Amino acid sequence: MPERAPTLRDVAERSGVAVSTASRALCMPGRVNAVTAERVLAAARDLGYSASAAGRALSSGRTQTVALVVPDIMNPFFFGIMRGTQSRLREGGYVHVLVDTEESVEAEERTLRSIRGTVDGVILAASRMGDDDIARWSQDVPLVTINRTVPGAEFASVAMDTPNGEVQALEHLVSLGHSRIAYAGGPRTSWSDGHRREALALAAGRLGVELVGLGPYAPKREAGPAVADAVLASGVTGVLVFNDLLAFGVLDRLAARGVDVPGRLSVVGCDDVFGADLVRPALTTVAVPTERAGHHAADLLLAALDRLHPRVAASVELPTHLVVRDSTGPAQA
């Protein structure tokens, strides 16, 4: 007769701990005493024990998998978020699954329907869904949002204060003598874009300058030429652009049209992604702590998953700051 395969209970008995402790030591070694974890691991090696993901899910009701849902995997803004969430989830013994919804609300909904029941939790980064939809999904699956909050929500969120960063950028342009400034906004479904427009409108009134609203635009480099043409037609001397990718496209188009930056037009981006200091001229932009946001989001979700009722309402807001480079300068007289 073939020898019976060792079980988790065998590992627990060999190492002198409870089955639940043995499970944590094998799946989440950072959450048990180091000496105990090593004793359990040694017992598992001696017995030749290997736990399958399916077996763990059946015995615990957990898959040890978390999905990170982003609207555009090609946008470098999300690279830091990916690193931040992945490192924390790995430490917690979870597998990190990445999903790209291609800036589509419908794709985001389809994704949540398809992964419901196959992951333990979800991190929604810059969700394009409406408040009611996000609140409804939070009742079906433990989730945390990044750069998205919902009033009265019963789930955790992490926000990066880009509205304040945009106000810093506006004040910077005003200090250089600019009095007519454009804001080239992002997608209509962007929560962050709406809050930036509100903050900029209030700041422009306080500073006594004219703010010209443009957009919405897709947050991609390819949309930059349309932004640049609209900015030049508006007669402004400075422009705040929704993100760095869009600003890169703006700089490309302005160079092709022979427009001097910053002599004729000052350009400010947002995110401080890789390459912002490499384009010419180097881009003045709002720096955002994406990796820290990923850390916080993963920590909040892991805390929720440790509770009997995995619903935790908490919010974290991270500051942003302006990085001044060569794409901004004094307004022409």
Q: What is the pLDDT of residues 283-309, one digit of tens each?
A: 999 999 999 999 999 999 988 887 644
DSSP state of 119: S
pLDDT for 34 = 83
CA neighbours closer than 13 Å in the CB half-sphere of residue 32? 21
The angle that helices 19-27 and 8-15 make with each other, rounded to 10 degrees, is 100
3-class secondary-structure state, position 160: strand
pLDDT for 308 = 40
Q: How many CB atoms lie within 10 A of CB 193?
A: 22
Sheet with 284-287, side-by-side order of all strands: 210-214, 180-184, 238-241, 266-271, 284-287, 321-323
pLDDT for 140 = 87
pLDDT for 152 = 84
Q: How many helices (H) and strands (E) does the chain have?
A: 12, 12
CA neighbours closer than 13 Å in the CB half-sphere of residue 186? 25
pLDDT for 115 = 87
Q: What is the pLDDT of residues 106-121, one digit of tens each?
A: 999 999 998 888 899 9
pLDDT for 310 = 45
Q: Beta strands 315-318 and 266-271: pairing type?
A: unpaired
Encoded tokens for 167: 């106000």
**Domains of the chain, start order:** 8-60 (1.10.260.40), 65-160+290-318 (3.40.50.2300), 162-288 (3.40.50.2300)
Find where tokens 């944590």 sit: 24
Separation of alpha carbons 160 and 125, rounded Å: 11
pLDDT for 30 = 64
pLDDT for 2 = 46
- Using 50 as the pLDDT threshold, list the residues of the chain that sit under it: 1-2, 53-54, 57-59, 308-310
Separation of alpha carbons 250 and 225, rounded Å: 6
Q: What is the pLDDT of residues 128-157, one digit of tens each?
A: 999 999 999 998 899 999 999 998 888 899
pLDDT for 123 = 97
Is pTM beyond 0.75 here? Answer: yes
Separation of alpha carbons 95 and 109, rounded Å: 22
Residues in the chain: 333
Mark out the alpha helices in the chain (DSSP H runs): 8-15, 19-27, 34-47, 53-60, 77-91, 105-115, 131-138, 162-175, 191-207, 224-234, 244-256, 290-305
pLDDT for 153 = 82
Separation of alpha carbons 28 and 255, rounded Å: 53
Separation of alpha carbons 189 and 174, rounded Å: 29
Q: How many CB atoms lie within 10 A of CB 175?
A: 11
DSSP state of 29: G
Please give the span between the terminal C-alpha atoms of the chain, in angstroms, as a whole number: 93
